[in-house]
Chains A and B, each alone.
Chain A
Amino acid sequence: MTNLILQVQDLDIAFQVDRKSEPFRAVKAISFDVPTNTTVALVGESGSGKSVTAMSILGLLPHNAIVAPSSRITYFGSNPGSAGGRDLLKASRDQLQSIRGKDISVIFQEPMTSLNPVFTVGEQIAEVLRLHMGMGIRQAGARAIELLGEVGIPNPQLRANSYPHEMSGGQQQRVMIAMAIACEPKLLIADEPTTALDVTIQRQILDLVASLQVKHNMSVLFITHDLGVVGDIADSVVVMQAGEIKEQGPVKAIFEQPQHPYTKALLACRPRLDARPRRLPVIDDFMKGEGRVSVGDRARGTTPGDPIILEVKGLTKTFFLKEGLFGKRAVPAVRNVSFSLPRGKTLGLVGESGSGKTTVGLTLMRLHDATSGEVLFEGKDLLALSEREMMAYRRRIQIIFQNPYASLNPRMTVGHILVEPMKIHSIGSGERERVDMAFQLLKRVGLSEQSFYKYPHEFSGGQRQRIAIARCLTMKPDVLICDESVSALDVSVQAQVLNLLQDLQDEYGLSYIFISHDLAVVKYISDRVMVMNEGAIVEMADSDEIYRHPREEYTRKLLSSIPKGYQLAALPS
C-alpha cells in the first residue's frame, strides 16, 4: 500500500436548511484516499457535494452543517502511512489554524475575489510567509519575488508591487497559486481553479499545477465539474454524484474502461473534436440504462449559394476611456469585421476574453452603438435605422446572455418574463392568447407548466437558460445570438442546452451566431467558424476545415490548448 497523506472515511455531512425541515444530506458516507505525491481529481456536477467535501477537510464548513459522528478525515502530515494521523474533524481551532495554509492550502475558483484589492500581490504573499514560516519582512519579500517567478509571472521584481486589479485573470490565479505553495504545503486543494478562465490560460494553469506538484513533492486534490480537464493531470479520479461516490480509480481506467453509467455519461456528453453526433448524449440516456444512443453524425458546413440573412460590413467599435482631466484614449474593441450569416446556419465566433467577440454581438443588437460599419438584415442597414424603425427589427434578432443568473429579472415571475416581450411587440391578440403561448413555449423548452408561476431563483442554471431561450422564442426571431450561453453551465447541462438549441434550429430554421471560448462546443454546433483576436478577424472557414487545417498561427495555438483529456475521452463507438 502506498503512503497516504489524507484519508477520508465515511464522511457524512448534512445541512439544516431551516428549523422545520429534515436536514439535507449533501455528502453521503463517502471514503477515499489521497496518497503522497499524487494528484487526485474529485469530479461531479454542481450540487454533487464535491466542494462541501473540500471545505470539510479545511474545517471551513458553514455553521448549519452537521457532520455525522462516524466521519473521519485523517491527515497524516509529516509521518505518512503510520498510525500517527490526526482527525481533522476533531481538531481544535488552533490546531486547524496551524495546519491550514501551512500543511494544507487551497486555491479558489475566483482569483479576483480571493485577493485583497488594497494590498500589492507581493505583500499578500509575504504576509503568508511571515505568519506561517516566521520570516522577517525583508526575507519574506525576497521569497515572494522568487515565488512569483516560479509560477511564471514575467518580471517578478516589478510585478510584486502590482495590485490585483492590474493583473489579468490568469496572472491573478498564478498569484493565488504562489500564495498556496508559499509554505511548501503537503496537500494543495484546487477548487475549480480554471473554470473562470479562457481555454489558453486554463491550459497554462493546468500545466503549472502539474509541474509544481512534481517539483514540490506535494499531493493535489483537484476539484472540477469537467472530466475533460483532469485527463492530463490527475493520477486517480473520484466521480461524485448527489453526495455519493459513483466510481473511483486510476485515471486510465476511468477514461478507458468506465464502469458506472454516470462516468460514461460524463465522458460522452462533452462535445468532441473528432465526431459530431446528431444529438449529444445526456446523463439521463445513460442512467436509464440504454447506454449510448447511436445516431449518425451531422454534416456541417456552408455552400456559396446559401441565402444570406445577415451581412456585416466593416463593423468597427471604439470605446473611449477618460484619461486625466481632458484626455481621451481610444480603445478599439472591434476592428473592421465583415462576415455573413446564411439562413438556418450557425456561425461560431471564438476568441479569448478581450478579443471583441461579445462586443460584436452587442453591437449587432444595437445594445452598443457602432462606431462605423453596416449591418444588413435582409438588405436593410440596422445601424442606420431610428429607434422607432428599429423596433420592428428588434424582435427578429435576439440574444441569449452568458449568465442566466444575471439575465433574468429576479423580481419577475417566469410568466411575466415570457409575456412581456409579446406585449411589447403586440404578438398574440390578448392576454389569454399570450399566456397560452407562454405555456406552450415552456413545454417546448422542457419546463413544467408550474414554472409559469415561479421566480427565476427557484431554478437551476440550466433551467434558467431554458427560460432565457423561451423568452427569445416568444418573439419568433430569425437570428439568435448566443453569447457564451453555455459557458457557465456544467458539462452535462451544457449538453442538454446544446441539444435544445439544435432542435430549435431544425424545427424553426433559426440562424445562430454562437459566441464561445470553448472550441469543442463551437466545433460541435457551428457550420462556419470565425476566429477573433484583438478585435479583428484572424481566420474564417467552415468548421471542419478550420479544425483540420488551421491556416493561422493563432488558430493553431487555440486548438493546441484544448485539454488532451478530450481525446482520451473518445469512446469506442
Chain B
Amino acid sequence: MSAVLRNPPLPPMQESPGLWALAWRRMRQDTVGMVSLVIVAIFLAMMAGSYTGLIAKDWNKEKGVSYANPAFLAGAENLEARSMAAKDATAKAPPVDLSDIDPLAPRYKEWEERAARIAVTETKRAEVLPFGGDKWGRDVLQKAIKGSQISIFVGLSAALLATFIGTMLGAAAGYWGGWANDVLEWVYNVFTSIPYILLILAFAAVATATGKFGKGIVPIVLILSLTGWTGIYRLMRAEYIKHSNREYVKAAQAIGASNWSRMFIHILPNVSHVALVQLSQHVVGFIKAEVILSFLGFGVPVDMVSWGTMLAEAQNELVIGKWWQLFAAGASMAILVTAFSLLTDSMRDALDPKLK
C-alpha cells in the first residue's frame, strides 16, 4: 500500500469550495430564494432598528386623533374622532356659575391668573397618519414595526429552541433505540397526552409564579419551546430510525466513524430538510401562540407591543370598521412567514445537491 505514498505529489490544486460556499453559489441562482432572503433581512433589520431605538422609538406617543385615518383614506369620515372631540369640547366649557353657594368662588380668579402664567401648548393631533391610528391615536405603522421586535424574536427563537430540542431528542431516540427510545417515548407521551393550551398555561403559571424563567419575553420563549418540541421530535425520530439502517451509515461505521459523527455529520445533513420545514412552520405557529398567551395575560407585558397584541386589539376595532391595525399586523406577519418558508425551502434545495 505504501506505493500510493511514493507517487510524486500532484501539482498544487485550487482550494476546495466548502459545502456552504457551494450552497451559496446555488442559492444565488434561485431568484425566489434571494427575494425571500432580502425580505427576511429587511424584517431582521427592522427588528434590530427598533430594538436599538433607531426607528419607531416613539410608537407609544399619541400623535393622532383616535382612529386617525390612514393617508390613503384621508377623506373618510371619522365618527370616533368627532365624538371624542365633542367630549373634549364639553369638558372645556366654562363651569356653571355657583358663586353664591360655593365657598371657593372668590379664589377662582386668582387660580385662573396663576394657571395662565404656566405655558400650555395644546398639541394639535393629526387627523391623518401614514397607516392610520389606533384608539389612542398611536401610529399603527410604528406599532407594527415595534411589534416585529417581539414577534420575530419570540417566534424565531422559540422555534429554533424547539427544533433544537426536538432534533436532539429525536436523534437520540431514533439512533440509539432501546431504553433511550423507551424513556423518550414515555416523556413524549406524557407531553402529548396533556391538551396543548392547558400545558402552556401550566408552564406559564409556574413561570410567572416562581419567576425562575426570568422576566419580560424570555419566559414566553421558554414556555413555547418547551411545549412545542414534540411534533419535531416525532418526525426526527422516524427519520433517524430510517437512516441509521442505510448503507451509507453502515459504511461510515465500517470506516470507524464514531456514533457522534454518524448521528450529526452523516445523518443530520440528510434529514435536515425535515427540521428546516418544521422550523419554518413553527415560527408561524409560535407567533400565533404568542397572541393566545398575551390574550390570556401570560404574554408580553402591557407596556410593550407585539403583532399578537395588535391582533387582539383589532378584534374590537373591526366591528366599527377600522381595519388598518388588523391589516398592518396581518400583512407583516403574512409577508414574513411566506418569505421565511420560501427561504427555508430554497435553503433546503441549495444544501441538498440531489434535488435539482
Contacts and interface: CB of A to CB of B under 8 A. Distances in A.
Interface of A: 362, 365, 367, 391, 394-395, 398-399, 401-403, 406-413, 415-416, 420-421, 424-425, 435-437, 439-441, 444, 449, 452-453, 455, 457, 468, 471, 473, 475-476, 507-508
B331 interface: no
Contact of B4 (A407, A409, A415, A473): A473
Contact of A452 (B16, B22, B253): B16
Interface stretch (B5-13, B65-73, B129-137): B5-13
A471 B255 contact: yes
B1 A408 contact: no
Interface residues of B, number: 33
Contacts of A440: 4, 7, 10
A395 B353 contact: no
A286 B257 CA distance: 43
Residue from A394, A412, A449, A455 with most neighbouring chain B CB atoms (10 Å): A412
Contacts of B254: 365, 367, 394, 398-399
B3 interface: yes
Interface in B123-168: none
Interface string B1-32: 11111010110010011010010000000000
A362 B354 CA distance: 28
Contacts of A410: 248, 270, 353-354
A437 B10 CA distance: 9
B266 interface: yes
Interface of B: 1-5, 7, 9-10, 13, 16-17, 19, 22, 246-248, 250-258, 261, 266, 269-270, 351-354
A529 to B, nearest CB: 24
A401 B247 contact: yes
12 contacts: A367-B253, A403-B247, A409-B270, A411-B353, A415-B16, A421-B256, A436-B10, A439-B13, A440-B4, A468-B251, A473-B4, A508-B1
Contacts of A436: 9-10
B251 A407 contact: yes
Contacts of B1: 473, 476, 508
Given A410-B353, A453-B16, A394 B250 contact: no
Given A415-B16, A441-B4, A508-B1, A420 B255 contact: yes
A18 to B, nearest CB: 9
B251 A391 contact: no
A154 B72 CA distance: 81
B251 A401 contact: yes
A449 B250 CA distance: 27
Contacts, number: 98
A362 B351 CA distance: 32
Contacts of B258: 424
Given A401-B250, A471-B255, A508-B1, 11 more contacts: A365-B254, A409-B251, A413-B19, A420-B255, A437-B4, A439-B10, A449-B13, A453-B16, A471-B251, A475-B255, A476-B1
A440 B11 CA distance: 11
B269 A411 contact: yes
Nearest to B5: A437
Contacts of B3: 507-508
Contacts of B253: 367
B273 to A, nearest CB: 10
Nearest to A404: B247
Residue from A440, A455, A468 with most neighbouring chain B CB atoms (10 Å): A440
B290 to A, nearest CB: 34
B256 A409 contact: no
A394 B252 CA distance: 11
A435 B16 contact: yes
